[in-house]
Chains A and B, each alone.
Chain A
C-alpha cells in the first residue's frame, strides 16, 4: 500500500511532506507507521533518520495510531479568551479521554492545535476537515452525538 502511495509522487526530497500527508490520511488509524517510514526511505533514497526528523517536527503528523475522527480544538488566545477551556473540559468528560488520547472504541482522538484562523467565531474546533465555530458546551455535545450516530 505504501509503495503505491509513494509512486504517485516523483522521488524527490521535496515531496516528502506530501507523501507523509498522503500516507497518514489514507491509513485508517491516521498515522505514519515505522514500516511506512522504511518504504519512504527506500523510495526517496533518504536515511530513515531524516524522515523521522521531518515527521516529528510537524505537529500534524503522528507516529502512533489515532482514532477514526480527529478532534482538534483550537488553543489560541482568541479562543482561550472566549472560553475554550470550558469546551476542553466538556470534550474530556464526553469522550472520557485526555489530550492526545484516543477513545477505547477507536472513534475519536482529542488533540489541541494552533490557530485555525476562524477567530471571529471563537471558540472553534475542527473535526477531520470540518470547522465548527461559536462552540458552547451544549453545541459540543450535539456535534459529538451526531458523529457517534453516523458511525
Chain B
C-alpha cells in the first residue's frame, strides 16, 4: 500500500534586519569592503512587512493565490500588491520579524537568547492572542535589561537582534572557543529551529492530526547543528518536535543540499509503507545565510532586496486512507553515481526513468515540480528563470524520445509546469512547494499526477563534483484501501487447506 500525503504547511518569515546582520553576502561585504556603496544603500532597498505580505508570489506560497493566477499576472510582480492579501493562508503564514525573535526565544533551551524587557511584554500580548503561539507564551520569560544586552553585543559574545536598526535582543555564544557554537552559528541554527517549529505548528491544524499521533520526524533544512567534535551531529528534528509538542516522536536530520527534501520525503514514505511508523513528519526551517544572497544584483537593478524572507515547510506522510494522494514509491528515479553529468543524462535519469517504470508518457504528468525558485529573484542575478529552464529541458528530452514535436516545447512548458513561487532558500524550492496545491487539486479531482524532482549541487561542499537528483510521482488516490490482489480471506484459506487435503488424499488412493 502506497503511503499518502495527509497535509502540507508552508511558512515565510519576514526578516529585513537579519538580511543586514546575518545574510552572508552582507556579512562578507562588511568584512571585506566595509565602506561599500552597497552597504550604504542596502537599508533603502528593504521592503516593509505590508509589502512582503501583499507580494503576489508570497501569497501563492502560503496558499492564497493559485499558481495559475500568478502565471496570468503580468510581471514585474514586485510592483504589484495583491488586494485582500493576508498574513494567514490555507497552507501557513507570513510571520513578522518581531514575533520571530520571540519564537527564537521560545525555541532556546539553553538561555542563549536575551530579549529586552518591554519588547518581551509586547511579544507576550501578541503570543497570547495567536492561536498557534499562545501555548508557548510562558517560555518567553520576563526579558532582560537593554544595558545587559548592549554589553553582550559590544563585547562580541553575542549577535544582536534588531528591529529597524534598534537593538531589541541578542543571541549569546554557547562556548568560548568552539566556532560551531559561536553566536553567529547559534543564531543561524535557532532561526532554522524556530521557522521549522512554525511550519510544524501549522501542519497539526492543516493535516487535522493530533500532536501525539506523530511517530517520527525527518528534518531536511540546509544547516548543520553540532559542536567542534561533530559539526553536523544534529538533531533539529527532535529539537523542533520538542517545542511543537510531538511527545511520541523521535527523528533525525537528512541533508542533500537542494535535493534534501526529496530524499527526506522518500524516507518518510518508505517508513510508512513498510509499516515501521504510521505518521511521519517531514519538516524544514529557513536559512539566514541566504538572506540577501543576490542583494547586490537587486540593488543594481533598482529592485527591492527580494531575499528578505526565511522559508519553511512541513509535510505529513501517513498510511493509505483511500483519500489523500499517494507517493508512488515504485516510480523512483535517481541520478546514480555512474549516470553521467550532462544535463541530458541527468534529465534522462530523474525524469524519463520514473515514467518508463510506470509505462507513462511525458504528457501523462499534469505538472512537473523541479526547482521552483521565484524567477524575479534569480533573473536579475543572471541565473535565469530556473523552473522554466527545467520544464524546457524536460520538453527537449520528450522531443529526443519522439514523444513531442519540437514546435510544441513552449506549449509543453506552459501546460506542464507552474511558475516559480518559492523563496531561494536552497532546499525550499526543490519540488516540495507544489505539494500543497497538488494535494488540493487531486482531492477535488482536478489533477491526477505530478512529478516531484529534487536536484542538488553537491560540489558546494567540495567533497564531490557529482550532481544529485531524486524524483517520484505523486498521484490521485484510487480510493482502494486494501490491495485485494495480495489479500487472502479466511474463506480462501479454508478452501486452500481443503484442496491440499483432497490432493493429498488422492495421492494416497493412487498408491
Tell whether A and B belong to one assembly: no
By a beta-carbon cutoff of 8 Å, the part of chain B in contact with chain A is none
